[in-house]
A and B are shown apart, each in its own frame.
Chain A
Amino acid sequence: MNTIIKVENLNFGYTRQDTILKGISFEVIQGRFLAIAGPNGAGKTTLLNLLCGLLRPKAGSIRIDSAPVESYSAKKLAQKVAVVRQEFVPVFDFTVAQMVSMARTPYLGTFGFESNTDKQIVNEALEATETAQFALRALGSLSGGERQRVFIARALAANSPVLLLDEPTSFLDLKHQVGIYDLLKTAQLEKGKTIVAVTHDINLAAQYCDEILLLGANGNYHIGETKDVLSPEQIERVFGVRTFVGKLGQEKFFIPLGKFAKYSGQIAGKPHNIQQE
């Protein structure tokens, strides 16, 4: 039950005056899947950037594997934490294999040639994400979903205990959304990776993640097991949206209700619980 990420009293703001994150403290235990959700501008991506060392907190500390983030060199930190952001096509037309191999950079020698171990790890990552078939294709020739899988393959190839993802499925179709979360869950269960994913989809978070951190716009936050934290009241408080809650066996799902949404008329006033047969 090793704590791999420990955040204490984190304060951060981009300018001297304002503060986006106030006094945030939480722990992530190794091998857990944490979702970070909240309204736009609450600071989710900022929190992620703080966790991977790209930003420095104004106050408070962040520890990865018991050492402060600042104490790691870029090389060592990359061996502990792998980050997956929005997919993009690089300026030069690298192939999928070349892109995934870049994850091995912290492990390479002076001239940067991959050893047999490196090659094996890259191949495994390609297999795991089902992108081996694209290995020799240029990134620009793939679809967005395929590219996102390549970026995740790269993160897996880094062989790091922690995976940070920033909205990995935002622009993907349903099949890919589910596919990627399945992939992440497999990585967590089979390889014991700790996963922290920023997401807008609370249902996917509910389905796949063990814990969820809800960041409110005014700086307050709630963290805990998804089944405890996610409730229609909590969601309305943080997101300002009423939801219809349904149950599928033991699991809950939430459907947001807009003013003109078709269901709105049927559920006048308060949120409603309906049992699913």
Chain B
Amino acid sequence: MAEFLTSKELAIKVSICLGVLVVVMCLCALVGTQNISLERVFDGPGQKPGENIDYEIFARVRLPRVILAALVGAALACSGVVLQAILRNPLADPYILGISSGAGLGVIITILSGISWSFWGGSPIGIFAFAGALITVWLVWYIGHFTGKSQATSLLLAGVVVNAFFSAIIMFLTSIAKSEQVFSTIFWLMGNITDKELSVLWVSAGCIIAGIIVLFTVCHRLNVLALGQEEAKGLGVDVARTRIVAFACAAFITAIAVSLSGLIGFVGLIIPHGVRLAFGPDHRQLLPLSAIIGAAFLVIADTIARIIVAPAQLPVGVITAIAGGPFFLILLAKYSRKVSWLK
């Protein structure tokens, strides 16, 4: 007898995972370079700043960071799932279609031109990174469409070309920048979780959650899309429309994640794989679970990054790469034995 994924079953799995995520987030907020006690935290904020430092550190420095890490992790993991389905390529990551170089270009232009006005609390760097990412993605989509009717290969090639071109511009601009500007750029590109303002977090959370919900509605069609364009059309899926919606959403939430925290690698690549190995390739399940597990992964990675070389901090991308690298090699070894993937 066949087993089907029911909405009830999925709801239960998602709830359990969400519960675990909340526990992880709270635990990680209690860990850091300074020791704080939970009881003191509950005493609440003092009259003036500096009165209850346990509360301040927990609620106003660590909690925003943990929330941000969760949001970025969820966004990147979801984006990875969707792009792997659209491009039918298990090696796709969220940055593959130009987002990384576009965001980087936005960042270095901001840093070089010294724009420092902050737009409603969002830093100018973040905003330009967001704009740069979206413009580049649109460009890649347009070129891909122009050259090959948005077939997976032509999209990938367009992404490679645009990435190379923009990277060259970034290199040029870096060469004429002052040293501290260069460091700022590189630092940003390495990916970092920092504490952001509540207003920025709130908007980002809303956008990312909305994006993930929209992607969820497309999931059952993503399953079919993974079989190829002809097959998908024969099974009643509007391939072009599904692709555009999925791609635009994935690009949008990735651009938000990148504008908040720079380019954190490996999350978008390994979380989808890990979840697929454990739970199977059905995207209706893969997407929500990847989001939650991606969130937990990045929260933990950021916590490690914060404490492991105190008083200095590692960029969180280092931890994700160290965790991701060996895992990726294992995956590669497993897949190379599966003839189907090499076709």
Residues of chain A having any CB pair with chain B under 8 Å: 52-54, 73-79, 81-83, 85, 89-98, 100-103, 105-106, 108, 110-114, 119, 122-123, 126, 132, 135-136, 140, 158
Contact = CB atoms under 8 A, between A and B. Distances in A.
A167 B19 CA distance: 51
Contact of B2 (A54, A94, A102, A126): A126
Given A83-B234, A106-B235, A97 B89 contact: no
Interface in B214-271: 216-217, 219-221, 223-224, 226-227, 230-231, 233-239
Contacts of A93: 280-281, 338, 340
B224 A105 contact: yes
Interface stretch (B3-11, B26-34, B36-44, B291-299): B3-11
A81 B233 CA distance: 11
Interface of B: 1-7, 85, 88-90, 216-217, 219-221, 223-224, 226-227, 230-231, 233-239, 276, 280-282, 284, 338-341, 343
A101 B90 CA distance: 23
A176 to B, nearest CB: 20
Nearest to B338: A140
A108 B6 CA distance: 13
Contacts of B85: 92
B54 to A, nearest CB: 43
A111 B2 contact: no
Contact of B235 (A94, A103, A119): A103
Nearest to A96: B2
Contact of A112 (B89, B221, B234, B276): B221
A54 B233 contact: yes
B112 to A, nearest CB: 42
A72 to B, nearest CB: 10
Contacts of B338: 93, 140
Given A52-B234, A108-B220, A123 B340 contact: no
A163 to B, nearest CB: 11
B6 A85 contact: no
A219 to B, nearest CB: 25
A91 B3 contact: no
Nearest to A73: B238
B226 A105 contact: no
Contact of A98 (B236, B276, B282): B282
Given A90-B227, A123-B2, 20 more contacts: A74-B233, A74-B237, A81-B234, A85-B230, A89-B340, A89-B343, A90-B340, A92-B226, A93-B280, A95-B280, A97-B3, A98-B282, A102-B224, A105-B235, A106-B235, A111-B7, A111-B216, A122-B4, A123-B1, A140-B340
B223 A98 contact: yes
A113 B281 contact: no
A106 B236 contact: yes
A102 B235 contact: yes
B233 A114 contact: no
9 contacts: A90-B340, A93-B340, A94-B282, A98-B281, A101-B2, A106-B235, A112-B217, A135-B2, A140-B340
A100 B236 contact: no
B281 A102 contact: no
A143 B219 CA distance: 29
